[in-house]
Amino acid sequence: MSEVSAAATQEVCSVKVGDTLYGIPIAHVLEILGKPATQPVPLAPYFVGGLVHYRGEVLTAVSLRRLLGMEPAKTPEDVLVFENSDGLFGLFVDSVGEVLHVAPADHEPNPATLEARRQALFDGAWKLRDRLLVSLDPERLDPVRLAAAFPA
């Protein structure tokens, strides 16, 4: 990646959930919370992972695992903080990795064979040298949108 000229590249924050590597444009990420204390919310929509304390506010955090229908994580998760129309929200991921530089030229849309739910969540993928980096658009993970898109 490093040989690509800086002007044409985009910085994405890489996160891991299960075995898959995801990338989120770093410009959208307000903050990364390392393994914060969380509070489950009984009766919440299935995609809500819980509440997280963030700078005096109580954030609702979406769980990528739950969204993808995966088993709950066995170890504490990291949280990314994003902004949406309703204020702020969080996203639970297994772990946050390094910042990668990707080129728009390496980006391809979702394959037609992808399962419908993932079609709606993923925003294509970047072809890294040795693996794929699934692109996530925080807008699609906005709990307000999710509630409308995937009613319980």
Partner 1 sequence: MDDLTREFLLESQEGLDRMERCLTDLEARPGDMNLLADIFRSVHTIKGTTGFLGFSRLEALSHAGENLLGLLRDGKLAANPDIISGLLALMDMLRGILRNIETIAGEGESQQEDAAMIARLEALQRGEATAAAVTEPALAAAVVAAQPAAPAKKRRAPSKRPPSRRPPSRQAAGHPQSPQGAPPPEQPGAAGPPGVIGAASPGREPESEERSAPAVAAAASIPARPASEAPPQAEAAATSASGTADSTLRVDVELLNRMMNLVGELVLTRNQILQTTSADPNFALLGRRLDMVTADLRESVMKARMQPVSHVFSRFPRLVRDLSLALDKRVRLEMEGQETELDKSLLEAIRDPLTHSVRNAIDHGIEAPEARIAQGKPAEGLVRLRAYHEGSHVIVEVHDDGAGMSIERIRQKAVERQLVTPQRAEQMNEREILQLIFLPGFSTAEAITSVSGRGVGMDVVRTNVEKIGGKVDVDSRSGRGTVLRLRIPLTLAIIPALIVRSRGQNFAVPQASLTELVHLSAGETDSRIEWLENAALYRLRGRLLPLVFLDRLLQQPGRERAAACDIAILNADGRRFGLVVDGLADPEEIVVKPLAAVLREIGFYAGATILGNGEMALILNPGAIAQNANVSLSSESEVDAGDERRADQQDYLLVETGSRRAALPLQTVVRIERIPRSRIEHAGALPVLRFEGELLPLDDTALSLVDLAGDPEAQTTVVVCRDGQRHVGMTVSQVLDVAGGRQLEEAGTGAVAEGLTLLEERVTSIVRLAAIPAIESVPAQSAEAFPLPAEATP
Taking CB under 8 A as the rule, does residue 147 contact partner 1?
yes
Count of residues engaged in binding partner 1, rule: CB under 8 A? 23
**Three-state secondary structure of the chain:** CCCCCHHHCEEEEEEEECCEEEEEEHHHCCEEECCCCEECCCCCCCCEEEEEEECCEEEEEEEHHHHCCCCCCCCCCEEEEEEECCEEEEEEECEEEEEEEECHHHEECCCCCCCHHHHHHEEEEEECCCCEEEEECHHHHCHHHHHHHCCC
By CB under 8 A, name the one of 13, 17, 60, 102 that touches partner 1. Answer: 60
Beta carbons within 8 Å of 68's beta carbon, 6+ residues apart? 17, 18, 117, 118, 121
Candidates 85, 87, 83, 76; CA nearest to 33 is 76
Which residues in 65-124 contact partner 1 (CB under 8 A)? 86-87, 89
Min separation Cβ 43 and partner 1, Å: 5
By CB under 8 A, name the one of 53, 83, 108, 109 that touches partner 1. Answer: 53
Stretch that binds partner 1, among 13-21, 102-110, 127-135, 138-146 (CB under 8 A): 138-146
Stretch that binds partner 1, among 8-16, 22-30, 95-103, 141-149 (CB under 8 A): 141-149
Min separation Cβ 115 and partner 1, Å: 23
Min separation Cβ 148 and partner 1, Å: 10
Stretch that binds partner 1, among 18-26, 37-45, 64-72, 107-115 (CB under 8 A): 37-45
Nearer to partner 1, 94 or 142 (CB): 142
